[in-house]
Structure 1
């Protein structure tokens, strides 16, 4: 703990970032959980729903890419407040466009605001989380990502309850949007300035143009792309499971629909458990060893799932290994990208952009390929990418020194 950051302030800071991760997951699940109701209210078909998803996905990538520029201009504290309010506005507009105006353009506007806000927020909350990690001198970023998972569970559960109770999307979105806006203000009040959080000296900040140049310069670093590949492989594995694992159980292995949902739950539990408990393993054995072991685990799990030939015991075992193996690639890639606090925002954004393109764009690509190869055969692509992630995981080795020349405490 630094002298500039008291214990009480640090605890409030850490709790605020945990809350932001949880609320980000909650907002995403709120939208996703009401897609069927939105489809009916707007009287649109699946292709049009796909276009809505595309609008949000493109906005999310733009938000992720612009995250470093927002950070350079406003700092994380103000930037997270602004982007959380943008997310809240987006959630509310989606509801108003669905049930009040019955307007597809208004829903699209809400999704664009939602995607821009969440994408940019993702960069800033990960930068803040890595700063917390560096103050604690232990691996905790996976726990932050577990809180994001908790948020999706809470959001999905609330969406199910809202739908069952006949709550309109507008009412549901208004409640969640107001909650996020209120929480944004509370979190803002408990997040310290970045200079204080990093125990920085009172030196004048570089001019804005210099900060913009630094944000772009990271795209010329080979390590950025290597970390991007680590995250890309695991993002493909996670996104592919979210969209295709349940269908693979039902159509590929001939099981009833409830078994598909159960297998996806097993995958999610495995992933969340390792994110909660995996930090000490990283501190003990180092990022590279853990990433390589998990890449092998993910590859083995995917292959077992594909080749189970209708044996549901093997199918569920494969789903569990798949979730365990895919659990830490993304958070540890983020942690590695932020090793140098001076360039943390730019490197996190660059690596995250590569990873999120895979996460958002990968599953639709798999769907197109599966039309020609069959779904289970298409999943071999995920096994190859998971293995590739392991091969490039040496890039996650912590830098020898940190800003100011301080030795790195981790392996």
Structure 2
């Protein structure tokens, strides 16, 4: 059984998971900020960079897929520690491959380790965040995801500083790797062992890991998992599509210059981060379903305005509405999946896997379609997925005891 936690233990637990979300964002921005330097050092073209991204994406999906097994075998504490250490090793290998051995395969290996570690940690840190929500009775997963965004901003800023100081990729990567290791060790030490996150208490009778794995996979047999998956899929496409295609859509579709393209993405990201910081109290006041429906309407209207607006100021308004509307779908899907504390880890793992696979696979799919019909026209597909997300948002309604029994049966 889980033991009661003191207020100070809960604060340390929450702070630790904030730090882990931040470290994940930091690592991703570190890699992204040095892509030009890596390309130049290796002497590769854009196609080869694309293959590196593909390798990282495949490894990330594998990490997402095995996360339930890691949870069943090791629990969230040891799983997160191992995943973050793997991220640190991967970042270091990327730097070594870039500057010391100038080897494309070594960089690819580093990205595979990096992607696999981040993919598995993504699931487990959401499991922990959902467990904290259940412990405190407050909606705070959006704030955890805001800390991921803070990590990307910090990582991008450090990347700019590293480039300005002409710091080699291997030195930059090694510094970030050490920082990630420190965050991992200190944070995990402050995460309590909880049975609902797969961490058996010392006083509990240990269960066989095969039994725990069977429990972990049970969520995939529940219709509610897939309904929540639709909610998260639409918003994952909305977020991932913006991150990869919004600047280019501004430049190619609205004849903006590259600086305005970057500014459009900044507007989207700021709107999303602000709503993730302040969205929790709105959910606690108005409920998940109402907030999800309103935000789906906001995201769809914003994206339509972005596509169809005749002037750039209106396009930027559309980008802001798009970002605000897409902000809470993913974290609120996590919250809904964790409604039953006894099965929180398994259901959050399944829901997170659906969302992250959509986030990783969505942008390349959009890019392929855009080659045939145009980028702005392709974004109408995302509008349709956002509408579907809103229509399925009733699946996020908090479970009452009778509903929990039906889900479990």
Report TM bin, short chain: over 0.9
The aligned residue for residue 265 of structure 2 is 264
The aligned residue for residue 183 of structure 1 is 183
The aligned residue for residue 110 of structure 2 is 110
Flag as ranges the 4+ runs of structure 1 deviating above 3 A: 195-203, 401-405
CA displacement at 1:343 relative to structure 2:
2.4
The aligned residue for residue 281 of structure 2 is 280
The aligned residue for residue 242 of structure 2 is 241
The aligned residue for residue 132 of structure 1 is 132
Which stretches in structure 2 are left out of the alignment for 5+ residues?
Answer: none
The aligned residue for residue 389 of structure 2 is 389
1:327-374 deviation line (CA, Å, top 9, x unaligned): 000001111112223322222222222211221111111111111211
1:191-229 deviation line (CA, Å, top 9, x unaligned): 111149999985424321111111222111111111111
The aligned residue for residue 171 of structure 1 is 171
Counterpart contact for 1:303–1:318, Cα < 8 Å: yes
Counterpart contact for 1:341–1:403, Cα < 8 Å: no
| 1:4-403 matched pairs, under 5 angstroms | 4-195=4-195, 202-309=203-310, 311-401=311-401
Q: Decide which moves more: 102-111 or 267-276.
A: 102-111
CA separation of 1:163/1:124 partners in 2, compared to 1, >3 Å: closer, same or farther?
A: same
CA separation of 1:82/1:198 partners in 2, compared to 1, >3 Å: closer, same or farther?
A: closer
2:138 is paired with a residue of what secondary structure?
coil
1:158 is paired with a residue of what secondary structure?
helix
CA displacement at 1:78 relative to structure 2:
1.3
Rounded Cα–Cα distance in structure 2 between residues aligned with 1:151 and 1:392: 31
The aligned residue for residue 409 of structure 1 is none
CA displacement at 1:393 relative to structure 2:
0.9
Rounded Cα–Cα distance in structure 2 between residues aligned with 1:307 and 1:320: 15
CA separation of 1:177/1:330 partners in 2, compared to 1, >3 Å: closer, same or farther?
A: same
Aligned length: 403
What TM-score, normalized to structure 2?
Answer: 0.95
Rounded Cα–Cα distance in structure 2 between residues aligned with 1:315 and 1:275: 22
Which stretches in structure 1 are left out of the alignment for 5+ residues?
Answer: 406-411
1:93 is paired with a residue of what secondary structure?
helix
Rounded Cα–Cα distance in structure 2 between residues aligned with 1:218 and 1:3: 25
CA displacement at 1:124 relative to structure 2:
0.9
Counterpart contact for 1:246–1:260, Cα < 8 Å: yes
Rounded Cα–Cα distance in structure 2 between residues aligned with 1:234 and 1:336: 15
Rounded Cα–Cα distance in structure 2 between residues aligned with 1:212 and 1:79: 14
Rounded Cα–Cα distance in structure 1 between residues aligned with 2:10 and 2:97: 40
Rounded Cα–Cα distance in structure 2 between residues aligned with 1:62 and 1:342: 26
Rounded Cα–Cα distance in structure 1 between residues aligned with 2:349 and 2:176: 27
Rounded Cα–Cα distance in structure 2 between residues aligned with 1:399 and 1:283: 15
CA separation of 1:287/1:205 partners in 2, compared to 1, >3 Å: closer, same or farther?
A: farther
The root-mean-square deviation of aligned C-alpha atoms, in Å, is: 2.0
CA displacement at 1:257 relative to structure 2:
1.8
